Amino acid sequence: MNKYIFITGSTSGFGEACANLFAQNGWDLILTGRRRDRLENLKSKLTSQFGVKIEILCFDVRKLKEVNESIGSLSLEITSKIEILINNAGLAVGRDPIDSGIVEDWERMIDTNIKGLLYITKAIVPFLKKNKKGHIFNLGSIAGKEVYPSGNVYCATKHAVDALSKAMRIDLVEHSIKVTNIAPGAADTEFSIVRFKGDKEIATSVYEGFQPLLANDIAETIYFVATRPKHVTINDLTIMPTAQASATVLWKE
Ligand code: NDP
Ligand code: 8X3
């Protein structure tokens, strides 16, 4: 097909599911994340399954120099074919009231979810502009639409993603670059393991008593949005488990 999609955070969850689905549909991939072994395993699996071309870039989105050097290492042959960017890498760390939050946790979230997303966007947009088309997906959250107890800084970072999606849409409209904000509710990925710092018992309890979203539900939504006709953009989607009515209202059996 000769079109590339650039996915941050491809080593698990939504990013990995998007890599699988787009590869299945013939897209070439640029896969990024910090865990090189996972990137390499995914590359060899998808290459042999679907015969697509795959570049892997192993870097931390918080480190501007790493971001620019990694993206700068891509050949013109590849950058001239990038059509989609999925700004997916992100995380919550901790769930504490504002006065007992840990400053290092706050900084990790702000640096990854806001600054990392900005660094990647700044590095990729020039290619999309040059190619005179493109589509940026930003992984926001229901936490970017509502605020919930002890969600403070994570919610603030996702509200920032929501604002940046709107801002990018305005700044990039003249270049025919689409921008879609994706705002999922509770989804069973590695998200809660990371949020609760490896405590599997608490992480598992988050999804007990209801059917959460699965990573593939989000990948299918993104694929649908990405394959609308040229003149159609879906700006913003909130996607919830059927059992979830808002950030705080979850119907558990
Ligand atoms: P996962 O923890 O499964 O995946 C997160 C991905 O982000 C991993 O591939 C991880 O890769 C990458 N990542 C994290 N930090 C960095 C970093 N500093 N540099 C590079 N890559 C990084 O979680 P999800 O798939 O659930 O999360 C994806 C996005 O969706 C996040 O932005 C999250 O906030 C958002 N979201 C999640 C929801 C949920 O309930 N699961 C709901 C709403 C939104 P690696 O560790 O290898 O670097
Ligand atoms: C992840 C969903 O509700 O834990 O963004 O904030 S939530």
Predicted confidence at residue 62, as pLDDT, reads 99
Is residue 57 in contact with ligand 1, taking CB distance under 6 Å? no
pLDDT score, position 112: 99
Global model pTM greater than 0.85: yes
pLDDT value at position 253?
Answer: 85
pLDDT at residue number 200: 97
Measured from the CA of 193, which atom of ligand 1 is nearest?
A: 2
72, 9, 71, 19: which is closest to 47 by C-alpha?
19
CB of 112 closer than 6 angstroms to any ligand 1 atom: yes
Q: List domains and CATH numbers for the chain.
A: 4-239 (3.40.50.720)
CB 218 within 8 A of CB 114: no
Question: What do you get for the CA distance between the two ends of the chain, in Å?
Answer: 45
Q: What is the pLDDT of residue 163?
A: 99
Mutate to test the pocket of ligand 1, among 189, 192, 217 (most ligand atoms within 8 A of CB): 189
Q: What is the structure's pLDDT at 1?
A: 72
Residue-level pLDDT at 140: 98
CB 115 near ligand 1, within 6 Å = no
CA-wise closest residue to 179 among 122, 137, 131? 137
For residue 104, the number of C-alpha atoms closer than 13 Å in the C-beta half-sphere is 1
Distance 240 CA to ligand 2 centre (A): 10
- The answer, yes or no, to whether any atom of ligand 1 lies below 6 A from the CB of 151, is no
CB-based contacts of 70-79 (< 8 A; 24+ apart in sequence): 70/32, 71/120, 71/123, 71/124, 72/123, 74/30, 78/4, 78/30, 79/127
Provide the pLDDT for residue 79.
98
Question: Would the CB of 15 count as within 6 Å of ligand 1?
Answer: yes
The finding on whether 33 has its CB within 6 A of some atom of ligand 1 is yes
Ligand approaching nearest to the C-alpha of 218: 1
Active-site positions read 154
Contact indicator for 122, 161 with CB cutoff of 8 Å:
no
The answer to whether the CB of 140 falls within 8 A of the CB of 162 is yes
Q: Which residues touch 198 (CB under 8 Å, ≥6 apart)?
A: none
- CA of 154 relative to ligand 2 center, distance in Å: 8
- Please list the pLDDT of the chain residue by residue as tens digits (253 residues): 789 999 999 999 999 999 999 999 999 999 999 999 999 999 999 999 999 999 999 999 999 999 999 999 999 999 999 999 999 999 999 999 999 999 999 999 999 999 999 999 999 999 999 999 999 999 999 999 999 999 999 999 999 999 999 999 999 999 999 999 999 999 999 999 999 999 999 999 999 999 999 999 999 999 999 999 999 999 999 999 999 999 999 999 8
Q: Which of 188, 230, 229, 225 is nearest to 205 (CA)?
A: 188
Among the atoms of ligand 2, which is closest to the Cα of residue 141? 5
